[in-house]
């Protein structure tokens, strides 16, 4: 039985619902957002009930009750209540996380936290909290006041379930439905129906043959009961007969179900839905009808439905509403299809193979000199390119979701520090590869916290500097020449270059402070363990973090720029590749090893001309400009004599330009990045590998690391090469 799969769906949905709830909580002004919060909690409670997750159900139920009062307007949504509900939101998120880790009933710590929060929620609850209260409030007004309902305190519903044979395989546990029903009311009678159970060899232990006849005393709306069986509705026969229905309704049930009439009748009599007399009469009519023939019976069933006035109007309305929603649903599902990320990754992998295979076919076609073959491969190449772009676009997600998560962090952290900070988000619709987005949230988190903690000044200083009381923090994303740029900017105090320099000298990171450009000084803060904060706070200042940011961005093959004006603010700028999987590469050769340089950083290629000054300085004259260069052969310690003619590939990363000297230029091609694997985790200057059309493996250069590697080897080297800034 694969209960885990259904549970996983629940966990994924719960996370989504909690995200939606948080978004609404942070902008709680409209009634729509209050409704959205209520719905989120309600759905989580309902689904958790299906899995018998009592601790979640109980907690969510109380939150739901409070939210319901807010929704009804009987409770003002004060900032302190918003804070409390936010805390509850976080708690539910924790509960779901624990569930994900396999802790079904909640860890002792979480349970204690539950109690604490429940106690805080208590003042917001109605005077007599009653487990059925919230469900009652769900009931639409017309139904609530229906005369039938007020006759007796606990109306008895009759529920008749014949589970589909497949439900065990779908990860459903019949018991969980009973458990959830018990949270809604009291089960007064329960009879299992085992008639479908086959004998001997025909019995399949993975099939569900169970049926249930349930009498439930509960003050609920029909919709609530229908929702209980939401997940099994398709395969199972489910009939819900409302309290105080006419006798015909029960008789119809008896007629429609496959089991023997008498058997079912007796169950209903036991549950006091029918009197023995009713049953007697019904059975005799039935026998009569049977004698009159099949066509009559069909018509009769129809008329019973039409004549059936047992359903209160609210139920009909609810059913219609449900139908309408069911009709709307498929059209939504057509618009968005949820696909497992793994499947997409597999697709992108396959497209990668296709690109490689295509390159190989191209090479062969070019050798064959057959124009028809060339033409055919040209068409295929074009299609492969389109497929590649489409496949990659499937993995593209908007950065907005990641950005908006920071609203909460900015709110919490600034509150904690007593600062007033506004977060501005731009370019939320900018798309980038999902795998990049995932790796981006940590570095962004560090930078945002850093900006709030150290960047934006306390109120008094802001006033003294003539800045507005409210600090501004902005997250911005946009596309720029084939890469994605992400900025984190604040209008705070800016980096204190004097202090950074002093610290760097003290730590022995640099020898000659005068030789550094502003940009180079700014980048010193990314050195491991570097912190200029005078006080270590809970949030930042320990000097861990910035080097992690750098490492994360390096892993994404991205670069970092820092723009900072003392007293006016700091902007951190990440420049990232659009995708991690497939790049356009430029192939070069050293000795007989192929290397690939990402094409988007290649500016131009030229012959290695006369070298400026001396060989040791590694500078060449590029149209009057001194360009530093490195010989790949030297950096990689490749044995063999220098070729007579060497070539230079001029690359640019951010503001840094450099020349890479190689033996031969092989031209550009599309390439799939394959990681080099665990064995090569210490490798420097290489960003991965790829397979060429010839089947040979080529190594992809990490030019940034390569430059660092080359400078580290040279004595008296500056930490960076030239900048054009």
Answer positive or negative: Cα dihedral of 415, 419, 424, 425. negative
Per-residue contact flags (x/-) with another protein for residues 552 to 591, judged by CB under 8 A:
----------------------------------------
**Which residue number, 664 or 674, has a Cβ lying nearer to another protein?**
674
Residue 367 CB, shortest distance to another protein, in Å, is 18
**Which residue number, 13 or 547, has a Cβ lying nearer to another protein?**
547
Provide φ and ψ at 408, rounded to 5°: -65, -45
Distance of CA 684 to the CA centre of its chain: 32
Rounded to whole angstroms, the maximal C-alpha distance in the chain is 114
| Segment contacting another protein by CB under 8 A, of 179-187, 405-413, 482-490, 631-639 | 631-639
For residue 633, what are the CA distances in angstroms to 475, 552, 594, 663?
42, 28, 12, 8
Determine which residue in the list 389, 680, 714, 723 makes contact with another protein, applying CB under 8 A: 680
Residue 552 CB, shortest distance to another protein, in Å, is 20
Residue 707 CB, shortest distance to another protein, in Å, is 14
What is the pairing mode between strands 156-162 and 211-217? antiparallel
Residue 717 CB, shortest distance to another protein, in Å, is 13
Residue 348 CB, shortest distance to another protein, in Å, is 13
Provide φ and ψ at 170, rounded to 5°: -85, 5
User: Are the beta carbons of 670 and 641 closer than 8 angstroms?
Assistant: no
Residue 553 CB, shortest distance to another protein, in Å, is 21
**Which residue number, 337 or 679, has a Cβ lying nearer to another protein?**
679
Give the pair of three-digit tokens for residue 266.
């007796």
Determine which residue in the list 588, 636, 656, 657 makes contact with another protein, applying CB under 8 A: 636
CB contact set of 528 (below 8 Å; sequence gap of 6+): 543, 547
Per-residue contact flags (x/-) with another protein for residues 341 to 370, judged by CB under 8 A:
------------x--x--------------
- For tokens 């909640």, what's the residue? 106
Of 373, 540, 572, nearest to 449 by C-alpha is 540
- Asked if 596 interacts with another protein (CB under 8 A), we say no
- Asked if 192 interacts with another protein (CB under 8 A), we say no
Residue 682 CB, shortest distance to another protein, in Å, is 3
Residue length, the chain? Answer: 725
- Asked if 638 interacts with another protein (CB under 8 A), we say yes
Determine which residue in the list 698, 703, 707, 721 makes contact with another protein, applying CB under 8 A: 698
Determine which residue in the list 614, 682, 716, 724 makes contact with another protein, applying CB under 8 A: 682
Per-residue contact flags (x/-) with another protein for residues 394 to 433, judged by CB under 8 A:
----------------------------------------
| Segment contacting another protein by CB under 8 A, of 187-195, 323-331, 370-378, 674-682 | 674-682
Please, which residues bridge with residue 487 across strands?
Answer: 476, 573
Burial class (CB in 10 A: 0-12, 13-18, 19+), 357: middle
For residue 584, what are the CA distances in angstroms to 67, 366, 581?
53, 20, 10
Taking the C-alpha atoms of residue 490 and residue 475, their distance in angstroms, rounded to an integer, is: 9
Give the pair of three-digit tokens for residue 495.
């980096």
Alpha helices in 418-474 (DSSP H): 434-450, 459-464
Distance of CA 365 to the CA centre of its chain: 44
- Asked if 198 interacts with another protein (CB under 8 A), we say no
User: Are the beta carbons of 578 and 484 closer than 8 angstroms?
Assistant: yes
Per-residue contact flags (x/-) with another protein for residues 303 to 342, judged by CB under 8 A:
----------------------------------------
Determine which residue in the list 29, 32, 429, 637 makes contact with another protein, applying CB under 8 A: 637
**Which residue number, 169 or 674, has a Cβ lying nearer to another protein?**
674
| Segment contacting another protein by CB under 8 A, of 90-98, 317-325, 444-452, 681-689 | 681-689
**Which residue number, 465 or 713, has a Cβ lying nearer to another protein?**
713
Determine which residue in the list 689, 702, 707, 721 makes contact with another protein, applying CB under 8 A: 689
Taking the C-alpha atoms of residue 80 and residue 313, their distance in angstroms, rounded to an integer, is: 41
Determine which residue in the list 192, 498, 696, 723 makes contact with another protein, applying CB under 8 A: 696
Per-residue contact flags (x/-) with another protein for residues 14 to 43, judged by CB under 8 A:
------------------------------
- For tokens 């008896």, what's the residue? 254
| Segment contacting another protein by CB under 8 A, of 242-250, 406-414, 693-701, 715-723 | 693-701
- Asked if 279 interacts with another protein (CB under 8 A), we say no
- Asked if 593 interacts with another protein (CB under 8 A), we say yes
Answer positive or negative: Cα dihedral of 103, 60, 45, 152. positive
Quick count: other Cβ atoms within 10 Å of Cβ 268? 26
End-to-end alpha carbon distance in the chain = 63
Determine which residue in the list 684, 714, 723, 725 makes contact with another protein, applying CB under 8 A: 684
Provide φ and ψ at 19, rounded to 5°: -60, -45
Question: For 465, which DSSP code?
Answer: T
**Which residue number, 229 or 636, has a Cβ lying nearer to another protein?**
636
Based on DSSP, count helices (H) and strands (E) in the chain, helices before strands.
25, 21
Binding residues for another protein, total number by CB under 8 A: 30
Taking the C-alpha atoms of residue 184 and residue 717, their distance in angstroms, rounded to an integer, is: 74
Quick count: other Cβ atoms within 10 Å of Cβ 138? 17
- Asked if 686 interacts with another protein (CB under 8 A), we say yes
**Which residue number, 206 or 637, has a Cβ lying nearer to another protein?**
637
Site residues for another protein per CB under 8 A: 353, 356, 593-594, 635-638, 674, 676-686, 689, 691, 695-699, 709, 712-713
């Amino acid at each position: 039985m694969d209960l885990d799969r259904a549970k996983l769906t629940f966990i994924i949905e719960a996370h989504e619902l909690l995200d939606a709830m948080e978004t609404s909580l942070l902008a709680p002004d409209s009634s729509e957002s209050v409704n959205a919060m209520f719905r989120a909690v309600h759905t989580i409670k309902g689904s958790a009930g299906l899995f018998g997750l009592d601790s979640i159900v109980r907690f969510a139920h109380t939150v739901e009750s409070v939210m319901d009062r807010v929704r009804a307007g009987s409770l003002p949504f004060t900032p302190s209540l918003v804070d409390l509900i936010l805390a509850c939101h976080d708690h539910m998120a924790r509960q779901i996380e624990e569930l994900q880790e396999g802790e079904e009933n909640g860890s002792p710590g979480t349970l204690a936290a539950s109690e604490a929060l429940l106690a805080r929620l208590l003042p917001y609850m109605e005077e007599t909290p009653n487990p059925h209260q919230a469900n009652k409030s769900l009931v639409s007004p017309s139904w609530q006041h229906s005369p039938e309902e007020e006759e007796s305190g606990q109306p008895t519903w009759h529920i008749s379930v014949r589970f589909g044979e497949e439900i065990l395989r779908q990860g459903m546990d019949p018991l969980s439905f009973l458990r959830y029903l018990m949270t809604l009311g009291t089960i007064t009678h329960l009879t299992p129906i085992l008639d479908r159970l086959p004998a001997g060899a025909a019995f399949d232990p993975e099939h569900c043959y169970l049926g249930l006849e349930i009498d439930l005393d509960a003050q609920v709306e029909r919709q609530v009961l229908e929702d209980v069986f939401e997940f099994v509705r398709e395969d199972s026969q489910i009939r819900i007969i409302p309290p105080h229905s006419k006798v015909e309704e029960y008789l119809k049930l008896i007629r429609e179900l496959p089991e023997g009439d008498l058997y079912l009748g007796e169950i209903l009599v036991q549950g006091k839905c029918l009197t023995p007399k009713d049953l007697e009469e019904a059975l005799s009519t039935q026998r009569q009808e049977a004698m009159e023939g099949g066509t009559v019976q069909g018509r009769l069933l129809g008329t019973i439905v039409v004549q059936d006035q047992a359903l209160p109007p609210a139920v009909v309305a609810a059913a219609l509403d449900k139908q309408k929603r069911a009709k709307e649903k498929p059209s939504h599902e057509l618009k968005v299809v949820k696909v497992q990320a793994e499947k997409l990754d597999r697709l992108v992998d396959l497209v990668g193979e296709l690109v490689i295979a295509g390159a190989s076919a191209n090479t062969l076609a070019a050798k064959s000199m057959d124009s028809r073959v060339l033409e055919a491969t040209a068409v295929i190449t074009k299609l492969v390119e389109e497929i590649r772009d489409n496949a990659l676009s499937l993995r593209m997600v908007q950065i907005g979701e990641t950005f908006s998560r920071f609203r909460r962090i900015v709110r919490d952290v600034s509150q904690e520090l007593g600062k007033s900070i506004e977060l501005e988000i731009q370019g939320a619709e900018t798309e980038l590869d999902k795998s990049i987005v995932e790796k981006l949230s940590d570095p962004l988190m560090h930078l945002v916290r850093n900006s709030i903690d150290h960047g934006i000044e306390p109120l008094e200083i802001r006033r003294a500097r003539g800045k507005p009381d409210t600090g501004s923090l902005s997250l911005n994303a946009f596309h720029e020449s084939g890469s994605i740029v992400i900025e984190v900017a604040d209008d705070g105090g800016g980096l204190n270059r004097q202090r950074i320099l002093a610290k760097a000298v003290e730590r022995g990171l640099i020898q000659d402070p005068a030789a550094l450009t502003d940009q180079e000084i700014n980048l010193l803060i990314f050195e491991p363990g570097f912190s200029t904060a005078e006080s270590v706070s809970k949030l930042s200042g320990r000097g861990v973090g910035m080097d992690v940011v750098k490492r994360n961005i390096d892993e994404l093959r991205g670069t970092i720029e820092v723009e900072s004006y003392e007293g006016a603010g700091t902007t951190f700028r990440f420049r990232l590749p659009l995708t991690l999987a497939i790049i356009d590469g430029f192939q070069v050769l050293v000795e007989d090893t192929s290397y690939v340089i990402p094409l988007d950083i290649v500016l131009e290629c030229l012959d290695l001309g006369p070298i400026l000054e001396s060989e040791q300085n590694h500078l060449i004259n590029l149209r009057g400009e001194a360009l530093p260069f490195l010989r790949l052969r030297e950096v990689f310690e490749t044995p063999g004599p220098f070729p007579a003619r060497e070539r230079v590939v001029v690359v640019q990363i951010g503001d840094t330009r450099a020349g890479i000297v190689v033996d031969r230029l092989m031209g550009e091609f599309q390439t799939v990045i394959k990681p080099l694997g665990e064995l090569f985790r210490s490798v420097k200057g290489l960003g991965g590998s790829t397979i060429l059309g010839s089947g040979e493996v080529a190594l992809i250069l990490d030019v940034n690391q390569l430059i660092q590697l080359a400078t580290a080897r040279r004595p008296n080297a500056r930490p960076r090469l030239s900048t054009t800034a």
